[in-house]
Amino acid sequence: MTPEKLTGWQGILRLKYAKDNNSTKLIETYSQTPLKIQRSFYPEGKEICHNVILHTGGGIVGGDRLLQEIHLQPQTQAVITTASASKIYRSSGKQAKQTINIQVNSDAFCEYLPRETIVFNGAIYRQDLYVELSENATWLGWEITRFGRTARGEQFTEGEWRSCTEIWQNEKPLWIDRQWLPANAEILTSPHGLAGQAVVGSLAWVGHSVSEEMLKEIRQLWNPQDTLGEAGVTQLLSGLLCRYRGNTTQEVINWFTNVWQYIRQNHQGRVITQPRVWKI
């Protein structure tokens, strides 16, 4: 069988962090267009390294293959985000795919907090996120997706979206989450689909036990009287999971940021500093 001819961007980004005199440093980088990394920032002090991933192509199209490989060595901590929302353009039939592999060594903490992904009508997109945790390692990450450019009245009635997240430790799965949304009018309105909403989000904190009291307090961060969407918090095997379904990206970002703040304060005794690129 003749192999499929590769078309589109074949982007690669490799990052490696190491501890150096009580400072987390990005010691190795490799990038291949359209992925790039900005220089490191330290708004919280030298212990926590902030980095911003750039996509210089403007958006992702069918046939694109993007790969991120991120390695946090022992006792490091990094906050990794993106410069802006990711845009998944309409496809002529080929799937666009992003693969993210994250390795977090002992006593390291990876906070992977990208901006939202906007899936255009007609897009065909898949993301696979795989995280391998060593002993005493923790990972906090979120995924926020808007289906259709709703500001212009667009709905996601053609195409499909897939997302698979796997978190492992000592060859055992801590959390595996597979989502699939085939675009059609029925699933947009079904209570088992989007229920008339356009935005979904998942936040997971994995690698640390969670008490019932902690779950209760995080649930109280969501006030249904002041919000338009729906939200829930669930205890995982070693961590917690927050889900959102609604219509405003800013609402879910605000809630997830409050959860991140709570986890930081209870896990490390320190407040967060939001990446400055979020304020631009």
Q: Are 102 and 130 in contact (CB under 8 A)?
A: yes
Q: Does residue 146 carry a pLDDT above 70?
A: yes
Burial group, residue 145, by CB count within 10 angstroms (0-12, 13-18, 19+): buried
What is the predicted pLDDT for the residue at 6? 61
Mean pLDDT of the chain: 94
Percentage of the residues of the chain whose pLDDT score is greater than 70 = 98
User: What is the DSSP code (8-state) at residue 40?
Assistant: P
The closest alpha carbon to 208, from 107, 129, 102, 128, belongs to 107
- Tens digits of residue pLDDT in 224-238: 888 889 999 999 989
Query: How high is the pLDDT of residue 224?
Result: 86
Q: pLDDT tens digits, residue range 16-64?
A: 999 999 999 999 999 999 999 999 999 999 999 999 999 998 899 999 9
**For the chain, which residues make up each domain, given as ranges?**
11-268
Alpha-carbon span 54 to 43, nearest angstrom: 19
DSSP string of 77-132, one letter each residue: EEEEEESS-EEE---SSPPEEEEEEEEE-TT-EEEE----EEE-TT-EEEEEEEEE
In the three-class reduction of DSSP (H, G, I as helix; E, B as strand; rest coil), residue 272 is classed as: coil
Contacts of 143 (CB under 8 A, 6+ apart): 114, 117, 127, 129, 163, 165, 201, 202
**Which of 200, 27, 12 has the alpha carbon at shortest distance from 101?**
12
Residues 135-146: what's their mean pLDDT?
97
Between 192 and 17, name the one with better pLDDT: 17
Burial class (CB in 10 A: 0-12, 13-18, 19+), 185: exposed
Q: What's the pLDDT score for residue 256?
A: 97
pLDDT at 127 over 50: yes
Which pLDDT score, from 0 to 100, does residue 151 have? 87
Continuous H helices in the chain:
185-189, 212-219, 249-268
Per-residue model confidence as pLDDT tens digits over 68-124:
999 999 999 999 999 999 999 999 999 999 999 999 999 999 999 999 999 999 999
Query: For the ranges 6-15, 122-131, 176-185, which has the lowest average pLDDT?
Result: 6-15
- What is each CA distance from 251 to 47, 80, 230, 240, in whole angstroms? 30, 21, 10, 20
